[in-house]
């Protein structure tokens, strides 16, 4: 993506978390862990450790959970125990809506040390679920095994995944995830058309599928950042620390297009900590569903250096559809 300092990762953070031993949830750090509901004994009075047979991943034995569906579970197992990467167990079957292909799921998580049963971290206490995972059959975003696991779940299901860090001087743990909500990402900006757009700005027209085209309208640029809603969405407000899913097109002031996610046929995912300053400042504060016209002066873009098709000292014009943020 042209607006990023570094190429954004295409796979969801949660998928990478479970598959490669580092999650968005875990990256919050082990500090300030919530009170533990973990039992490191062999007793268990409810909940089966049933797992889905459609996945070829190894299943974890001897782990159970009690508690109400959709609430923080109490997890039990004998300690010490060992776990393998790419292993899992379904601790609670959900009682809500079925997870479907294309659903973005939000999960509350607990990391539990398998050596002594201590809780390393939890998102439950501060209610900070991770919403980075898209359940999709697209293998560029999620492996077939993980897809088969998640697509068979319902809301409020709780699953545990093994993460074996023992060979890297780390801590092996169970990542216990409860699916608390789901949603579908937008495919284009959806909301209320803004009627009072300043007349001197570039004119944007939209194809039926939402792809923008632009008439620079004699526009000469701006020394300051312009961040103008063209469509005002009704979703949550974007924070400057979030990851955004967006469709966008970028032009130079002479009308030359230098990049477009629309032309690639897929939206883009990027952290606002990884994009040019004009994007970070220009998208924060807008709402999901909005379409935003950005005019980015050189000092908030690529400055005095060439970047691909963008010459040095270029003012950049973008039309960005904010499809999701998490």
Q: What's the pLDDT at 259?
A: 97
Residue 217: exposure state from Cβ atoms within 10 A (0-12, 13-18, ≥19): exposed
Residues 93, 232, single domain; the answer is: no
Mean pLDDT across the chain, nearest whole number? 86
- Which tens digit of pLDDT belongs to each residue from 59-98? 999 999 999 999 999 999 999 999 999 999 999 999 999 9
Residues 67, 130, single domain; the answer is: yes
Active site residue 45: no
Backbone CA torsion sign across 57, 58, 59, 63 = negative
Residues 161, 238, single domain; the answer is: no
Residues 98, 232, single domain; the answer is: no
What are the φ and ψ backbone dihedral angles of 155, each rounded to 5 degrees?
-55, 145
Q: Which of these is catalytic: 85, 145, 258, 299?
A: 258
Active site residue 302: yes
Answer yes or no: is pLDDT of 125 > 90.
yes
Mean pLDDT over residues 293-308, rounded? 97
Range of the domain at 78: 13-184
Residue 1 falls within a domain, yes or no? no
Q: Which of these is catalytic: 15, 161, 248, 270?
A: 248
Determine the Cα–Cα distance for residues 194 and 251; give it in Å rounded to an integer: 22
pTM of the full structure: 0.77
Active site residue 147: no
Q: What's the pLDDT at 140?
A: 86
Residues 177, 296, single domain; the answer is: no
Answer yes or no: is pLDDT of 252 > 90.
yes
- Which tens digit of pLDDT belongs to each residue from 182-205? 999 999 999 999 999 999 999 999
Which domain-ending residue is among 157, 184, 211?
184
When pLDDT is cut at 50, 70 and 90, the band that residue 123 belongs to is: very high
Q: Which of these is catalytic: 37, 52, 229, 259?
A: 259
- How many other C-beta atoms are found inside a 10 Å radius of the C-beta of residue 198? 8
When pLDDT is cut at 50, 70 and 90, the band that residue 263 belongs to is: very high
CATH of the domain at 303: 3.10.50.40
**3-state class (DSSP) for residue 259:** strand
Active site residue 259: yes
Q: Which of these is catalytic: 276, 321, 322, 326?
A: 276
Residue 8 falls within a domain, yes or no? no
Q: Which of these is catalytic: 302, 310, 322, 326?
A: 302
pLDDT over 90, % of the chain: 79
Q: What's the pLDDT at 76?
A: 98
Q: What's the pLDDT at 141?
A: 87
Residues 178, 202, single domain; the answer is: no
- Would you report the helix, strand and coil content of the chain in percent, each value rounded to 5? 10, 35, 55
């Amino acid at each position: 993506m042209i607006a990023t300092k570094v190429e954004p990762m295409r796979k969801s953070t949660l998928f990478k978390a479970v598959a490669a031993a580092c999650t968005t949830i875990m990256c919050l750090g082990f500090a300030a862990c919530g009170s533990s509901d973990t039992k490191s004994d062999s007793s268990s009075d409810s909940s089966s450790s049933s797992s889905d047979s459609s996945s070829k991943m190894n299943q974890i034995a001897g782990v159970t959970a009690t508690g109400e569906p959709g609430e923080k579970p109490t997890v039990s197992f004998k300690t010490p125990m060992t776990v393998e990467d790419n292993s899992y167990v379904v601790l609670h079957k959900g009682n809500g809506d079925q997870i479907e292909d294309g659903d973005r799921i939000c999960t509350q998580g607990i990391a539990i040390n398998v050596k002594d049963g201590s809780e390393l971290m939890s998102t439950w206490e501060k209610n900070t679920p991770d919403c980075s995972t898209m359940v999709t059959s697209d293998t560029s975003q999620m492996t077939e095994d993980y897809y088969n696991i998640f697509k068979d779940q319902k809301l409020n299901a709780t699953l545990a995944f093994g993460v074996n860090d023992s060979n890297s001087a780390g801590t092996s743990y169970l990542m216990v995830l409860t699916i608390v909500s789901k949603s579908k990402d937008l495919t284009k900006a959806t909301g209320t058309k803004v009627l009072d757009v300043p007349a001197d700005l570039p004119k944007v027209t939209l194809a039926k599928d939402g792809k923008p085209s632009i008439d620079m309208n004699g526009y000469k640029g701006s020394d300051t950042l312009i961040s103008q809603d063209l469509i005002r969405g009704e979703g949550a407000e974007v924070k400057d620390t979030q990851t955004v899913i967006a469709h966008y097109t970028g032009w130079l002031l002479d009308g030359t297009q230098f990049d477009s996610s629309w032309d690639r046929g897929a939206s883009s995912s990027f952290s606002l900590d990884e994009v040019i300053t004009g994007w970070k400042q220009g998208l924060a504060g807008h709402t999901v569903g909005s379409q935003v016209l950005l005019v980015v002066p050189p000092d908030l873009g690529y400055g005095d250096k060439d970047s691909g098709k963008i010459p040095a000292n270029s003012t950049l014009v973008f039309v960005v559809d904010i499809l999701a943020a998490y």
